[in-house]
Structure 1
Amino acid sequence: MQEIGIIMNGVTGRMGTNQHLIRSILALRDEGGVELPSGEHVIPEPMLVGRDERKLRALSEEHGVDRWTADPDLESCLDGDDEIYFDSQITPRRPDALRRAIEAGKDVYCEKPLAMDLDRALEVTRVAERSGVKHGIVQDKLWLPGLMKLDRLIDQGFFGDILSVRIEFGYWVFSGHGQPAQRPSWNYRAEDGGGIIDDMFSHWSYVLESLFGRVESVTCLGRTHIPNRVDENGDEYEATADDAAYAIMELEGDTVAQLNSSWTTRVKRDDLLEIQVDGTEGSAVAGLRECTTQHRANTPKPEWNPDQPTEHDFHEDWERVPDNREFENAFKQQWAEFIRYVVADEPFPWDFRAGAKGVQLTEASHRSWDEKRRVTVDELRI
């Protein structure tokens, strides 16, 4: 059994604390570590890094993490023996911190997006590749049970020719007037890296490419529907970032994807995320955990008659896809994969090039919105 030190920067944020520290690294540590192909186990040992000493101390005491430092410049931790640097800071701070960690010889793993713009994303990708360090980016949606079931259906040829994909994502995030907001206020300030296009389109990039094919063009409209919100201190501020985005994307193979992403919608779906796939032989709807299907042979023949009430229950025409396996937390799954990549050189395709593709789609979507036109997304060349 061996240990591997992991510098976790920005871990006091919501995602850093819950998904990366508690449900991933500490969970893996409590289970006895990550099993390697040899049967040996590697125990992750985190060092918490951030800008708020009070939060770091409280987090370390609550979860029994001995090592932490309130050192935003990373001077006190990059000189140590920790092998992995992980970054979940706000996006504008990420590229410089990653570059410093790479120059210190650390293998690097980070949240998406990789950078605020494609030039910076390409720059940090080139630095990582020239240095020879191992690098990876979080692409957690690929390990969601619902999407893994969808991937299983695709592999088995269930859909025939895939015609279209429709992604519905979002929920109502309170503005802070009357009820506290359930997302951090920086999400609504463009100057801090906020905005639903920057937050979600990096996800849609790898989800679409992994399951259906590369995005070849995008037509996107963003909106800031709620112009003023209230922050964590009770102060009203101007929302300068988009809180909703509506896009049509053309994928290789002539598949069309429609995507609605919104923090200003009230949910009347089975889940906060739903992906409907329609093919010549069948259709499926996947949420975060569940997936249902309707085969061509079981498709009803609806009739359009608005003069009569609809008595048919269309939900009853769908069958649930069984689990057929146990599913782990998506973030934890990819953390285990990355640790195996670092220690045992196991394959890990989700590198900074994949992260740069997400930034490329985000940038193209902003350009489409700004210029009110369809934008081609070329093959990315590093």
Structure 2
Amino acid sequence: MRIAMNGVTGRMGYRQHLVRSLLALREQGGLDLGDGTALWPEPVLVGRREHALRDLAERHGLDASAVSTDLDAVLADDSIDIYFDAQVTSARAAALRKAISAGKHVYTEKPTDTSLAGALELASLARDAGIKHGVVQDKLFLPGLLKLKRLIDGGFFGEILSVRGEFGYWVFEGDWQEAQRPSWNYRAEDGGGIVVDMFPHWEYVLHGLFGRVTSVQALAATHIPRRHDERGQPYEATADDAAYGIFELEGGTVAQINSSWAVRVNRTELVEFQVDGTHGSAVAGLRGCRVQHRSATSKPTWNPDLPVTEDFRAQWQEVPDNGEFDNGFKAQWEQFLRHVALGEPYERDLLAGARGVQLAELGLKSSAEGRRIEVPELAL
């Protein structure tokens, strides 16, 4: 199966989608389809910088013909089955429209578009074209959240009351230390901003684990207004670098999630979710998950005049792996490829991607207007 991959010179497109997903599938002999056959992925690298693409192809033993700077020509090639997009957000929607028009199945990073109207149009175009389509929702496939899902499915929490999430790290300003994220992330005119980047993640995590988001109240902030770009030149940050959100979920659970590129990490992992229920609580990161059952819950008493003598963190128990966890991006690629090859059910489609764009759009509106906003259910 030939897969056009646009955006593989970027960190995520290269490391997670090319190397740790499709090339990893090739290293294991292809994707076992369960009928004695294996699907063999053939990446075709697409982008603007031919020398960079050829370097990647040579480094990983791909044929020189599997490189192109002409997206239109690639999409006109009948041998291409799937188009994958990991470009910058501002370039993604136009390329996806071309791929859908060419009759290619599409798989894409998020957000799928910079507006809800555009994201819904993509979903409608894909439905009308009769193609298979999927959106990356990698965090649901990571060990910590898979363990959390196991706890939910097993009834560990009783009634789930609340979810509290903390995400982020300090992104250097680019003057005295090089920034570890590209400068476009901090320019709204280029599709940047932490709400646009992270709220689509929070939508599918909350929806997939706890229930649909029914309302949002958010405050977005630009804490660091001046940064330095890749050439060391100063620029004004026009996009938000932190967001503080409260989300009501179907069924009554309340979620609070802080997202920031201007916070120093005092957590076990870069993102953690605490889930509190009537029967127990859990703290899950991307890999680990710790729990405390109600039978083992301590009984603290507030007294500011005395030092705390309890080691509260030591009272939590680590959830065992009880299995092997593959790379989350690769696991979702396998699901999507089986969906294309065998027609197996797949729910992480462009409509699901539109829900993420919707939440980001309404989160920014909530912040601008200073009010709580209902999140309507989407349908085509």
For 2:218, what is the secondary structure of its paired residue? strand
Q: 1:49 aligns with which of 43, 46, 51?
A: 46
Alignment of 1:111-190 (within 5 A): 111-190=109-188
Aligned to 1:328: 326
Aligned to 1:77: 74
Alignment of 1:200-349 (within 5 A): 200-349=198-347
Instruction: Tell me which amino acid in the other structure corresponds to 1:83.
Output: D
Q: Percent identity?
A: 61
Aligned to 2:7: 10
For 1:235 and 1:213, how far apart are their aligned partners in 2? 44
Deviation at 1:54?
2.5
For 2:34 and 2:356, how far apart are their aligned partners in 1? 31
For 2:223 and 2:156, how far apart are their aligned partners in 1? 39
For 2:375 and 2:218, how far apart are their aligned partners in 1? 13
Deviation at 1:37?
2.7
For 2:236 and 2:30, how far apart are their aligned partners in 1? 45
Normalising by structure 1, what TM-score?
0.97
For 1:262 and 1:39, how far apart are their aligned partners in 2? 47
For 1:156 and 1:164, how far apart are their aligned partners in 2? 18
Aligned to 2:23: 26
For 2:318 and 2:172, how far apart are their aligned partners in 1? 33
For 2:193 and 2:329, how far apart are their aligned partners in 1? 22
| CA distances 1:210-261 after superposition (whole Å, capped 9, x unpaired) | 1111101000000111111111222221111111000111111111100000
For 1:12 and 1:230, how far apart are their aligned partners in 2? 22
Deviation at 1:20?
0.6
For 1:285, what is the secondary structure of its paired residue? strand
Aligned to 1:196: 194
Instruction: Tell me which amino acid in the other structure corresponds to 1:60.
Output: A
For 1:83, what is the secondary structure of its paired residue? strand
For 2:41, what is the secondary structure of its paired residue? strand
| CA distances 1:258-283 after superposition (whole Å, capped 9, x unpaired) | 00000110001111010000000000
For 2:46 and 2:233, how far apart are their aligned partners in 1? 27
For 2:269 and 2:336, how far apart are their aligned partners in 1? 29
Name stretches of at least 5 consecutive residues in structure 1 with no aligned partner: none
Name stretches of at least 5 consecutive residues in structure 2 with no aligned partner: none
For 1:229 and 1:328, how far apart are their aligned partners in 2? 37
Instruction: Tell me which amino acid in the other structure corresponds to 1:70.
Output: T
For 2:185 and 2:327, how far apart are their aligned partners in 1? 24
Deviation at 1:177?
1.3
Deviation at 1:65?
2.2
Deviation at 1:196?
0.6
For 2:229 and 2:69, how far apart are their aligned partners in 1? 23
Aligned to 1:40: 37
Instruction: Tell me which amino acid in the other structure corresponds to 2:68.
Output: T
Aligned to 2:106: 108
Normalising by structure 2, what TM-score?
0.98
Instruction: Tell me which amino acid in the other structure corresponds to 1:298.
Output: A
Q: Which moved more, 1:47-56 or 1:242-251?
A: 47-56
For 2:164, what is the secondary structure of its paired residue? strand
Instruction: Tell me which amino acid in the other structure corresponds to 2:54.
Output: R
For 2:124 and 2:210, how far apart are their aligned partners in 1? 27
Query: Structure 1 runs of 4+ off > 6 angstroms?
Result: none
For 2:221 and 2:60, how far apart are their aligned partners in 1? 40
Instruction: Tell me which amino acid in the other structure corresponds to 1:347.
Output: P
For 2:136 and 2:202, how far apart are their aligned partners in 1? 13
Q: How many residues align?
A: 377
For 2:264 and 2:247, how far apart are their aligned partners in 1? 24
Tell me, yes or no, if structure 1 residue 63 matches structure 2 residue 63.
no
